[in-house]
Structure 1
Amino acid sequence: MFTNQSAELSLNAPCKSVTAVKADRLESRFLLGGCCIPDDSANRIHVVRYHSDVNVVGLDASLHHPTGPIERLVASPNDRTLVLTLAERSNAVTLYRLPNSVMENSNDLMMDSETTTSATDYATSYSDSYRQDSSHHTYDSGSSSSGVLESKVALESDAQMLDMTWRANSMDLDDPPGMLASSTPGDVLTLDAAGNVQQWDLSMGMAESMHAISAGDNNTKTLPVGCIPRVVWDPHHGSQLAVSWGRAVQFLDLRTAIGIADDFGKGMNMTRAHRYGVTDVDYNPNKPFTLATSGLDGVVQFWDTRNTRRPIMTARGGHSHYAWQVSYNPFHDQLLLSTGTDAIANLWRVSSISSAPLLTLEAENNPMPDDTMESSDAPNVRVARHEASESIYAATWSAADAWMYMTVAYDGRLALHHVPSKEKYKILL
């Protein structure tokens, strides 16, 4: 059933991170990380699933996270039971395995703390509660838990860990669940507070650091308040990556352990990508050499990594405070999400610099307008705006449905949204 109506669920606990279960291409399943420092019982990984037949988001499990409040989490692209988590102020990234009973690829069974019920009955009960409370569902994080996390290995550093990422590999559907060998050597990167990027090999069921490279010199280590560095793989060049640090973005090559140079031998780094600091970086998944950044200046900018002297486009007017995260649609790069500490999440259509510009639109490389509510026939425009009660630190696209995405506010209220049908048809037709 296709709908444009959002579905909501409240976890009743602070939350700053969400990731789609990337290895599950059959069901829209997501992992959310609780981050309540005083109450350790609220530091959990919540497994939620979308039921399209009744347009409801249901909770499959709430698993205690023993290493503390979750700052970041990233699901494996090849195994639906594996997830990397980063606890606040921790010197290690931990690889956990989720219970198979929770992550089994079936919509017939759903697990709670005491019983196993059919998904239809479970979703029907949620649908009834929607009629009673049209705003959102509520879940008491201390009331139930399903299974336990299995700690597999810790990726440790001498300095505080700041970020990690998993290389997006093609999934082999013939691989049995829980098969670590489906990963290629060195497909995990971590970034620590000393500016070191480490490449890790997890293919043999253990963590082996292949080598480390520096993301900058000592003059670039000072960070603006509220600015957390990020590291991301280049999906088109397997050995290359981008690291944001303060106001700069640096491009590195793992083969040479040095920065990438242009045709004239000069570094391709962006020394002033955003006025006050860069908060997030994401590569266009379909078009090489195209990068999006968000910043403390509240804007989203788009870059050609072959010429980084100035952005090729700027999206203004979407946020009145920090633009915290930016995320390309992994299937259709005309679509992009941005979230902010102003409690706003935006869905942008960026057609003119995509891999497949919309033919019905005037595809000129014009900047995003300040007035994002202009005609929907513009090639680059904000097509949806979602407001929450608190800061929206994270959003993610579904791995099973190209037209679905989830946002999560700091108060634990998550919302699952659909790309407007008119935008879907503009891209497909």
Structure 2
Amino acid sequence: EEDAPLIYGLELPARCLCPQTAESNVTRFIVGTQSLKQENQIHLVEFDDENNQLEKTVFAHVDGEIWHLLSSYNDPLLFSTCYSSYKDGKLGTGCKIYKFVSDSENQGPADTGDFDTGVGNFESIDEVCTVSSSEINHISSLQWKPIEDDNQVMVLGDGKLHLFDLVEEKTESSFSFQLPEKKGHPLVATCGKWNPHHTAKQFAVASGQNITSFDMRSKSPAFQLENCHGQLVRDLDFNPNKQYHVVTCGDDCLVKFWDTREPKAPISVLESDHSHWVWGVRFNPFHDQLVLSCGSDSRVVLNNKASISSEPFGHMVDEEDDDQKEKKSDQLIAVYEEHEDSVYAVEWSAADPWSFASLSYDGRIVINKVPKTVKFDILL
């Protein structure tokens, strides 16, 4: 019997969801709301797999409506928000780093090796620093570096990339990248992400229908995917196990898989999963054949892309039997339709390979699990 999905409803609209990435023992997700009139909130949601239950703690986010949210790869207590607020007739934006504070005085970043404090033990969030630059007016997103003990983050906005040092609280370096114009209007970068391979020396940016990955050492393009979607590119993700593979999604309702060494054409395309804009796509961080996508059609789709994964033949006992090896076939595993509004985010758990959460604009969070038959087929 499969576990029923768990549903948690927020009182406010929301579009930002991320896992507590540095927490490897417990499945937790962080959610940020987006209300123009009411005080916004940060929700820390914990999934109890054994009892199939949810625990949650709510914190006030007084700075405004949250447009981007991400947790640190190194410290489970740290996370960032990019936000906007409307005050005195003016629209203001900003970006800050926050820290979860527990009711134990001894709890801190240095004590998080075996981090298992329950969500109910956090009493507040404290502001650590404000991320800003004299060269950038509007920060659209912040990306933590997926490198151990690295204090730099990448901030994206105004057509520029900025490396920001969290210790010194200053911009280390920045450079402008040329975004093409369409019908006389400059394109805006929709998302950006560190390449986890190559010691995180490359950062990819999606703008319009194109994706460009910049090498931080030479400040020049490492690879480019031109016109990779018929319409706007909404999201991208790097395969955690194959250094040249990346997945993209966009307003053309498609999910495409690419080998960056051969950027002229995708190696695979998912054409019929979504009927509207695809807002998010994610490789499973443990088993890269599992791929999630979500979109404005209120759907969350789980696919098995075994043929182009790091284990196309499955777990082979004897690697010498090359003649008997056959690639596993791809399949649509499931379509989840618990949402009634546009699904803006879908994320895998950082602690459990088989759990994932999705968030729709009406504030509904749904936690599902990979079907047990698929799980056992991958493991056996």
For the 8 Å contact 1:86–1:163, the answer to whether it is kept is: yes
In 2, Cα distance between equivalents of 1:222 and 1:336: 34
- Structure 1 gap segments, 5+ residues each: 117-145, 171-182, 261-267, 364-377
Deviation of residue 223 (structure 1)? 6.0
Amino acid at match of 2:195: D
Aligned to 2:61: 65
Q: Given the two structures, how large is their TM-score scaled by the length of structure 1?
A: 0.77
For the 8 Å contact 1:22–1:76, the answer to whether it is kept is: yes
Larger relative strand fraction: 2
How many equivalent residue pairs?
352
Aligned to 1:153: 129
1:381 corresponds to which of 317, 331, 334: 331
1:164 corresponds to which of 142, 149, 164: 142
Aligned to 2:94: 92
Aligned to 1:214: 176
Amino acid at match of 1:165: Q
For the 8 Å contact 1:222–1:246, the answer to whether it is kept is: no
Amino acid at match of 1:190: V
In 2, Cα distance between equivalents of 1:20 and 1:101: 22
Aligned to 1:367: none
Aligned to 1:244: 206
Among all aligned residue pairs of Structure 1 and Structure 2, give the percentage whose two residues are the same amino acid.
Answer: 29
For the 8 Å contact 1:247–1:278, the answer to whether it is kept is: yes
Aligned to 1:10: 9
SS of match in other structure, 1:427: helix
Deviation of residue 35 (structure 1)? 0.7
For the 8 Å contact 1:21–1:30, the answer to whether it is kept is: yes
Aligned to 1:126: none
- Range with bigger deviation, 290-299 or 85-94: 85-94
In 2, Cα distance between equivalents of 1:275 and 1:222: 18
Deviation of residue 169 (structure 1)? 2.9
- How has the CA–CA distance of structure 1 residues 35 and 228 changed in structure 2, closer, same or farther, with 3 Å as cutoff? farther
For the 8 Å contact 1:4–1:421, the answer to whether it is kept is: no
User: Do residues 315 (structure 1) and 267 (structure 2) align?
Assistant: no
Aligned to 2:30: 31
Deviations 1:348-377 (A, max 9, x none): 1111111111449953xxxxxxxxxxxxxx
- How has the CA–CA distance of structure 1 residues 343 and 101 changed in structure 2, closer, same or farther, with 3 Å as cutoff? farther
- How has the CA–CA distance of structure 1 residues 70 and 110 changed in structure 2, closer, same or farther, with 3 Å as cutoff? closer
Deviations 1:6-50 (A, max 9, x none): 11111122110111111111111111001111112xx11101111
- How has the CA–CA distance of structure 1 residues 425 and 223 changed in structure 2, closer, same or farther, with 3 Å as cutoff? farther
For the 8 Å contact 2:306–2:312, the answer to whether it is kept is: yes
In 2, Cα distance between equivalents of 1:359 and 1:286: 14
Aligned to 1:52: 49
For the 8 Å contact 1:8–1:56, the answer to whether it is kept is: no
1:200 corresponds to which of 161, 164, 186: 164
SS of match in other structure, 2:12: coil
Aligned to 2:318: none
User: Do residues 279 (structure 1) and 234 (structure 2) align?
Assistant: yes
For the 8 Å contact 2:314–2:378, the answer to whether it is kept is: no
SS of match in other structure, 1:161: coil
SS of match in other structure, 2:374: helix
In 1, Cα distance between equivalents of 2:123 and 2:151: 30
Aligned to 1:101: 103
Amino acid at match of 2:377: K
Aligned to 1:337: 292
Aligned to 1:230: 191
For the 8 Å contact 1:337–1:348, the answer to whether it is kept is: yes
In 2, Cα distance between equivalents of 1:209 and 1:404: 37
For the 8 Å contact 2:159–2:176, the answer to whether it is kept is: yes
Amino acid at match of 1:392: V
SS of match in other structure, 1:338: strand
Deviation of residue 65 (structure 1)? 0.7
In 2, Cα distance between equivalents of 1:166 and 1:70: 17
In 1, Cα distance between equivalents of 2:176 and 2:30: 31
Deviation of residue 214 (structure 1)? 2.4
For the 8 Å contact 1:99–1:149, the answer to whether it is kept is: yes
Q: Given the two structures, how large is their TM-score scaled by the length of structure 2?
A: 0.87
In 1, Cα distance between equivalents of 2:224 and 2:344: 26
User: Do residues 421 (structure 1) and 376 (structure 2) align?
Assistant: no
SS of match in other structure, 1:99: strand
SS of match in other structure, 1:58: strand
For the 8 Å contact 1:296–1:322, the answer to whether it is kept is: yes
Aligned to 1:392: 343
Across the aligned residues of Structure 1 and Structure 2, the Cα RMSD in angstroms comes to: 2.3
- Structure 2 gap segments, 5+ residues each: 85-90, 316-324
For the 8 Å contact 2:179–2:186, the answer to whether it is kept is: no
- How has the CA–CA distance of structure 1 residues 212 and 91 changed in structure 2, closer, same or farther, with 3 Å as cutoff? farther
